[in-house]
Amino acid sequence: MLTLQRYILTEFAGPSLFALVGLTLVLMVGNLVQFADLVISKGVAIAQVLKLFLFLVPYLLTFSLPMAVLVGTLLAFGRLSADNEITAMRSCGISMVRLSLPIVLIALLLTVVCVYINDQILPKTHFASRRLLAQIGMKNPTAYLEAGTFIRAFEGYILFIYDIRGHELFNVRIYQFQEGKPTRTLVAKKGEFIPIPDKDVVKLKLIDGISDEPNPRDPTNIYKLNFQTYYLTLNLSSQIQKGELQKKPKDMTFADIKQEMEFLQSSGVAVYPLQAEFHRKIALAFANFFLALIGFPLALLTHRGERIIGSVLALGVFALYYILLALGDALAIQGIVAAPIAIWLPNGLMGCLSFVLFRKIVSV
């Protein structure tokens, strides 16, 4: 039995490693334009660009590793099935569970490794990449403002901007802390920063939104006020003036996220993006396990051992997985669906499908 398990792992290892290297390189190509612009337009040293490439690798592995596991599973068992080796093994009394056990154990091991990468390595490299980019030549204070993070660059305010395109901001949330009063909230569909030269302030123009305004007779009571245009003058904090960067959710470990959520919740701030990031880190790690589970019965049902067909099938499954993950992520960040449900939906779906397909091949 040990010889058989070694044989299955050998069939799995080759295509998996090939897919891992190839997919990681393909994903890197998508960043070449940005890095080439740093070298050509901004005169950045090649050594710094190479650092950015290295910092990018852990992030890319969170996507390429699960897909490599899926490709390896489909190609390994697809070839064994196409050559009737699976049929021969089953005729010798070897169950489907024992056949899949080596791959499942490897997938679980990779899941543990990915949990560690997502918790410890990825936050550090992602933050180091942002810090290096900031050091490379971003002198404008507003350049430090990034979408998808709680921004504390302005004294007395916390901002969360869902999307930034050039100078335009979309879906802006602003939380203003008032001593002895409830936290004031402003929500706007669009916004724009208007720089004020030679001053440590920035004017923020908000468009089409709602603001919390105190009742003149009782300042502790807040009522909602709709506005078409609203201007805020924001003082830059000492942190931004010193060129320091604030951590985004992707730059945080599990412990950092929990600590940040406790602080923000005590201040009356919604923490949906942090909850989504916490579950995303774990769910993406478990993608190795669930994609291996779905790959095993798919390979036996398709009876295909060709690399091209197996790779296309793997791409289709992973595309479905990623679309569902992106959808769940968007719903979780907005607070429309609870993060555990929205983020774990793809894994749950893959688990259910693998169970149904597994029962089907066992009954054959």
Count of alpha carbons within 13 Å of 229, Cβ hemisphere only? 3
- Provide the whole-model pTM: 0.71
The two tokens of residue 148 are 């998808």
pLDDT at 111: 95
Please count the helices (runs of H) and the strands (runs of E) in the chain. 11, 6
Kindly report, residue by residue over 53-97, the tens digit of the pLDDT: 888 889 889 889 999 999 888 888 888 777 777 778 777 777 777
Average pLDDT of every residue of the chain: 81
Kindly report, residue by residue over 260-277, the tens digit of the pLDDT: 999 888 878 889 999 999
Looking at the predicted structure, is the pLDDT value of residue 187 above 50?
A: yes
The percentage of the chain sitting over the pLDDT mark of 70, rounded to a whole number, equals 82
Average confidence (pLDDT) over 114-139: 79
User: What residues contact residue 144 under an 8 Å CB cut-off, 6+ apart?
Assistant: 134, 138, 153, 240, 245, 246
Query: Sign (positive/negative) of CA torsion 266, 270, 273, 279?
Result: positive
- Do 42 and 138 form a contact (C-beta atoms < 8 A)? no
The two tokens of residue 204 are 């923020």
Q: What's the rounded Cα separation, in Å, for the pair 39 and 53?
A: 13
User: What residues contact residue 331 under an 8 Å CB cut-off, 6+ apart?
Assistant: 337, 342
Kindly report, residue by residue over 19-56, the tens digit of the pLDDT: 898 888 888 887 777 677 666 655 567 777 788 888 88
pLDDT at 211: 86
Domain locations in the chain as residue ranges: 2-137+276-363, 141-271
Angle in degrees, 0-180, between the axes of helices 307-334 and 46-82, rounded to the nearest 10: 120
pLDDT at 143: 46
> In this structure, what are the phi and psi dihedrals at residue 11, rounded to the nearest 5 degrees?
-65, -35
Q: What's the rounded Cα separation, in Å, for the pair 33 and 238?
A: 34
The two tokens of residue 139 are 């002198």
